[in-house]
Amino acid sequence: MNTQEALLNFCLRLADNNMIAAQRLAEWCSRGPILEEDLALTNISLDLFGQAENFYEYAATLQNNGKTADDLAFLRSEREYFNNLLVEQPNGDFAFSTMKQFLYAAFAKPLYEALQASKDETLKGITSKAVKEIKYHLRHSSEWLVRFGNGTEESLKRSQTALNELWRYTDDMFLMNDNDKALIEAGISIDLNTVKASFMATVNEIFKAAHLSIPETNNIITGGCNAIHSEHLGVMLCEMQYLQRAHPGAQW
């Protein structure tokens, strides 16, 4: 595996994760439980779109074939998207979206922290800016989980239900393929198992405070990094890519 190709693929994975998570969060616009929370969710969405743009721009530079960041976001299909399965799951209720956001941020924070030691200067630059944002996202979602766990019976039930549904997609975030192997050897990326330890520490700490227990399940689903998705992604892309697909070559 050529390192340049592996790096391109890895950047797309990071970009796609942020893009799809941001698109899901943007669905909350005008639908939040209180105005402040409507703003907080779209604010996180905006951060993630910004991170996606940075990774897409770097991917476009690496690809060096005249394609832009927008081409990468809006003109690739579901079998060319490398995001993790977690972020493409439908929003559900506010507890479900919060849990999804929490699990993603608990993964992205240690990943970005580790990538600050990358031998690739651009990746280092993008992730050191992103890590500040992701820390806030993690704090925001953690605080809500603790509120749910210590709020009402209903709020606890809803957040446990969300965890039961979403836990099956968490292993997918740590799945590695040949690209990862090439990047670990080159000192550009890291073994995702090291990130998992940090992820588990965060998760255990917050779940304890939020009275949540990790479900025991054999139903573990993976495939995002190999572009094997759930049925939800294609529908999202239809909506997201509609104008670019319907008006090829138009400038907006």
Give the interface with other proteins as residue ranges (CB under 8 A).
23, 26-27, 29-39, 42-43, 45-46, 49-50, 52-53, 56, 69-70, 73-74, 93-94, 146-148, 150-152, 154-155, 158, 239-240, 242-244, 247, 249-252
Q: Give me the count of residues in the chain.
A: 252
Q: Report in angstroms how near the CB of residue 151 gets to other proteins at its nearest.
A: 3
Question: Is the Cα torsion angle 134, 106, 27, 227 positive or negative in sign?
Answer: positive
Query: Do 165 and 173 contact (CB within 8 A), yes or no?
Result: no
Q: Which amino acid is located at 232 in the chain?
A: H
Which of residues 158 and 196 has its CB atom nearest to other proteins in the complex? 158
Q: Report in angstroms how near the CB of residue 71 gets to other proteins at its nearest.
A: 10
Q: Report in angstroms how near the CB of residue 21 gets to other proteins at its nearest.
A: 13
Q: Report in angstroms how near the CB of residue 13 gets to other proteins at its nearest.
A: 17
Query: Do 62 and 4 contact (CB within 8 A), yes or no?
Result: yes
Q: Is 152 helix (H, G, I), strand (E, B) or coil?
A: coil
Which of residues 181 and 211 has its CB atom nearest to other proteins in the complex? 211
Which of residues 89 and 189 has its CB atom nearest to other proteins in the complex? 89
Q: Report in angstroms how near the CB of residue 249 gets to other proteins at its nearest.
A: 8
Query: Do 105 and 198 contact (CB within 8 A), yes or no?
Result: no
Which of residues 94 and 199 has its CB atom nearest to other proteins in the complex? 94
Rounded Cα–Cα distance for residues 202 and 212 (Å): 13
Measured CA to CA in angstroms, residue 169 lies from 17, 86, 163, 222, 223 at distances of 13, 5, 10, 7, 10
Q: Report in angstroms how near the CB of residue 75 gets to other proteins at its nearest.
A: 11
Quote the radius of gyration of the chain (alpha carbons, Å): 18
Q: Report in angstroms how near the CB of residue 157 gets to other proteins at its nearest.
A: 10
Tokens 């079998």 locate to 79
Which of residues 90 and 187 has its CB atom nearest to other proteins in the complex? 90
Which of residues 71 and 113 has its CB atom nearest to other proteins in the complex? 71
User: Quick one: CA torsion of 76, 191, 97, 226, rounded to 10 degrees?
Assistant: 30
Rounded Cα–Cα distance for residues 111 and 100 (Å): 17
Which of residues 119 and 247 has its CB atom nearest to other proteins in the complex? 247
What tokens appear for 21 in the block?
């998570």
